[in-house]
Amino acid sequence: MKIATFTHQNKTRLGIVIEQSIVDLAAAEPGLPTDMRRFLEAGEAAWGRARDAARRAAPRIPLAEVRLEAPIANPGKVLAIGLNYADHVKESGMQPPKHQIWFNKQWNAVTGPHDAFEIPAAAPNFIDYEGELCFVIGKRCHRVPAARAAEVIFGYTCGNDVSVRDWQMRTPQFTLGKSFDTHAPIGPWIVTADELTEPHALELRTFVNGELRQHSNTRELIFDCYAQVQELSAAFTLDPGDVIFTGTPSGVGAAMKPPRFLRAGDRVRVEIDGIGAIENEAIAGPAETVIG
């Protein structure tokens, strides 16, 4: 199933996307959580009720009448892996990694599939895109071998690991350069793992203002999704709703000659076959201080 977070008539809740409509789970199954993280924490019984609602002739709302939000707006962790496509390693001028390279993106970076992302006033000159497959953890887990990793992945979504390159590269740790507010667009929904059974054979494309910049396939991942679960869960517990960015292929703006960074008004579209697409406009970020 494709499960989305959506807003309709000023109320935000969960729904199952079927073709060009959405089943309102708050109406079809009133006892279910209306927040994605709480829905995932509710476990397989809740997921089964949502699937049953999708199978029934439950009332639907046309997709054109709703606003799609980030599938999960408040993940406990947003983790991203670096240098995980061979062609991206090559264009970066670096050696293939011997170990997985992980960094955090703060949850405040998460924004919706069609929301704007900011060109920050503090760092306006080196903003880059990174189209990525993301997966969402469905079950609390620790020390999971790769052979069992599929059991803990709830589903998959599209992501753009927006990056502030000068802040990213000025220290050995990438977190600040990867965590500006709005710099993790995800969506448009989560395709559950039982529907998307082969995450490692998906075409991925990133467009900037309609120009194809990235085109690859997830079979080119150096460390696949299951290896990523094994590595992360060896170190710490993964929780329902954690979002994992799985890496980006070649074609990022920083590696072009000359480099081509994003400016206000640019539009970035990330498409992944079997999932869908997100498209976000870059806008100038505010400069005023906010307290309270």
Compute the distance between CA of residue 103 and CA of residue 81 in angstroms, rounded to an integer.
Answer: 6
Amino acid 189: pLDDT? 98
Compute the distance between CA of residue 11 and CA of residue 105 in angstroms, rounded to an integer.
Answer: 28
205-247, pLDDT tens digit by residue? 999 999 999 999 999 999 999 999 999 999 999 999 999 999 9
Specify the CATH number of the domain 78-284.
3.90.850.10
Please state the rounded mean pLDDT for residues 46-72: 93
- pLDDT exceeds 90 at position 57: no
- pLDDT exceeds 90 at position 160: yes
- pLDDT exceeds 90 at position 167: yes
2-68 is a CATH 2.30.30.230 domain = yes
Going from N- to C-terminal start, the domains of the chain cover 2-68, 78-284
Amino acid 36: pLDDT? 98
Cβ atoms of 179 and 105 closer than 8 Å: yes
In this prediction the pTM is 0.97
Cβ atoms of 77 and 40 closer than 8 Å: no
Angle made by CA atoms 26, 75, 148, in degrees to the nearest 5? 95
